[in-house]
Amino acid sequence: MTIALDGRQLLMQRLEDLRRIPTIPAVLTPLLRYLEQPVEKLDVQKLTDFLAQDESLAAQCLQLANSPLFGRWQQVQSLRAAVISLGFNQVGDIAMSCGILKILPGRNGGLDPVIFWEHSLGCALVARHLANKIDFEDPGKAYLAGLLHDVGIIVNLWLLPDEFRAAYDIATHEGIPLHEAEQQSMGFTHCDSGRLLAERWGFAPSLIEVVAHHHSPQESSPATELIALVHIADLLCRMSGLNHGYVEARQVNFLSDAGFSLLARNHASLKHFDWARLTFEVGSYLDEVHSLVRTIYRS
């Protein structure tokens, strides 16, 4: 049953209290700003020093750097070696992955935080993979957008744990997408609350649009292509086992999906895209993502 209008207004007022949500680790802001410079101006040792300022973050970054998910099949033993072998942009992606992971609250809203981050990391990897397949101009941005697309769930877990648990229970019992259950029970979704947090944290406009519209890529936006990429990656993960902890009772035809139509306008190769193969490739991420996130979350 949909909540009354005054109830929705009350919940939206509570969402404005974003000060209760922890910020991302302090080292990440100057680190990511430093990485915005042209590659020729970046220095390996300076980037290593940035990471070393946060011992926990440094250790987690090293764990991720040694994962096959990031193209590593030989062990690297130091942060400096990780920076050299992975490259500047990928180290930035890894640092953001670890930093955001640290702010999720415990399981007080029904959704297991480990499962949440498995989905987020999986979506990031799939978005980057698909971006490379279609020659998207910035696969790194696709990775970051995939990683951050569900930050609104963090907002709901921190500020509206009881209301979010009720929505999550509806989604689980009815097998419907989480955002549909949120709209049904709260009158808004994690896309709405996510926009508030993304704006507060100073995300780039294109990332704010992804957070706000990854379930509605058909809505006009200058970042439409990036939104469509993340939308498709999110669907692939939810259908392939990197979901929100339950199975959605639905089937997806990607060829008739709004996100596919938007991407196909600029990428004619998608009309002959092998979705079965891509789904198989996503499935190959499952075990490694499960293992990696559980290791990092326990550390």
Name which residue leads in pLDDT, 296 or 92. Answer: 92
Return the sign of the alpha-carbon dihedral for residues 207, 258, 131, 83: positive
Specify the CATH class of 107-299 in words: mainly alpha
- Is the separation of the CB atoms in 225 and 142 below 8 Å? no
How far is it, in rounded angstroms, from Cα 209 to Cα 116? 20
Each residue's pLDDT tens digit, 5-22: 555 676 667 767 777 776
Round the average pLDDT of the chain to a whole number and report it: 82
pLDDT in tens, 168-190: 999 999 999 999 999 999 989 99
| Amino acid residing at 240 | S
Decide: 152 and 100 in contact? Cβ < 8 Å: no
What value does the mean pLDDT take over residues 229-240?
91
pLDDT of residue 96: 76
State the Cα–Cα distance between residues 104 and 293, nearest whole angstrom: 13
Percent of the chain at pLDDT exceeding 90: 21
Q: At what angle do helices 139-148 and 88-101 cross, to 10 degrees?
A: 0
Q: How confident is the model at residue 4 (pLDDT cuts 50, 70, 90)?
A: very low
DSSP letter (8 states) at residue 18 = G
pLDDT in tens, 27-64: 777 887 787 778 888 899 988 898 888 887 788 778 77
Contact 164, 109 (CB under 8 A): yes
What is the C-alpha to C-alpha distance for residues 189 and 156, in angstroms, rounded to an integer?
9
In this predicted model, what pLDDT tens digit does every residue of 58-87 receive, in sequence order? Answer: 887 787 778 777 765 667 888 888 888 778
Domain map (residue ranges) of the chain: 14-103, 107-299
Question: How much is the pTM?
Answer: 0.82
